[in-house]
Amino acid sequence: MSNKSNSNKSMNRRDMLMATGAAVAASAFPMHWVAGADKKKQKILYFSRSAGYEHDAVKRKNGQPSISERILNELGQKHGFEVVSTKDGRVFDGDLDQYNAIAFYTSGVLTEPNKQQTPPMTVEGKKKLLDAIAAGKGFVGFHSATDSFHSKGPSGENQTEVDPYIAMIGGEFIVHGEQQNTMIRAASPKFPGVKEFGDNVSLKEEWYTLKNFAKDLHVILIEDNEGMKGDCYQRPPFPMTWARMHGKGRVFYTSFGHRDDIWTNPKVQGIMAGGLAWAMRNINVDVAPNIDKVTPKASQLKY
């Protein structure tokens, strides 16, 4: 047998092994994550500046990344995307085209100074962010991202005019009670990560109450409220995780993210990964508005 024939057989065997390995890797790949179509590594800008209360999940201690940064970086290493983390608001005056999506875990009026003395966003930077999303940039909000840029008016009421940032993210934080278990119900079974999460899951978290919901929300997970302690929770069920389109941009938000064991929970990570994959256009899912169907009394703040 010629050396050429042996070489071809060796190459065929190697190709078969590579194909088998790829098939195994694909079968082991989480169903809630879909990689980008091109080979270029995707990039996420993770902004975690606090102009209000700074959550432990975004605090950097002894120069080490926060737990939310660590988990997002682990997800990136696992699924092939890069996370660029910053608390410097001036980043929005720079080049946003390099990012496939922008993720927020923020609080307060981000154009104002804070205790940590991290540079604020400029007014122009805020506008540039919103324009980029409307033009097609993906956006993902965690937990207190809805506690940023509050609308004018009483906190315990819905407003007819909301801050442009709130209009983009699709809802606004009111208040929370003590940490406790509550039932989270799935409303969008085809959204990536929901099948693995489960139809009804009881979790302990710092549960937000929310208002000023956009009328076009596609509700993914519902906060049930039944049996919860605290006056703020005595209201009909409402969205706690959703998706919506903002112009051409895909917007995903989840109120998950206060507790460390929420960040390390595989089911919650699946929801987060699903939101990131969808926001970066790695997967297409029908996100037609369903808020009036699945949470018809969401805007009712009291029973």
CB-based contact 103:65 (threshold 8 Å)? no
- Whole-number Å distance between alpha carbons of 23 and 256: 33
Reference 192, options 268, 283, 108; nearest CA is 283
Helices 67-79 and 266-279 pack at an angle, to 10 degrees, of 70
Phi/psi at 94 (5° precision): -100, -155
Structural domains in the chain plus CATH codes: 42-294 (3.40.50.880)
pLDDT tens, N- to C-terminus, the chain (303 residues) = 444 444 444 444 444 433 333 333 333 334 445 566 565 789 999 999 999 999 999 999 998 999 999 999 999 999 999 999 999 999 999 999 999 999 999 999 999 999 999 999 999 999 999 999 999 999 999 999 999 999 999 999 999 999 999 999 999 999 999 999 999 999 999 999 999 999 999 999 999 999 999 999 999 999 999 999 999 999 999 999 999 999 999 999 999 999 999 999 999 999 999 999 999 999 999 999 999 999 999 999 999
Give the contacts of 224 (CB within 8 A, at least 6 positions apart): 182, 183, 184, 185, 237
Q: Are strands 218-223 and 180-186 parallel, antiparallel or unpaired?
A: antiparallel
* pTM given for the model: 0.89
CB-based contact 253:171 (threshold 8 Å)? yes
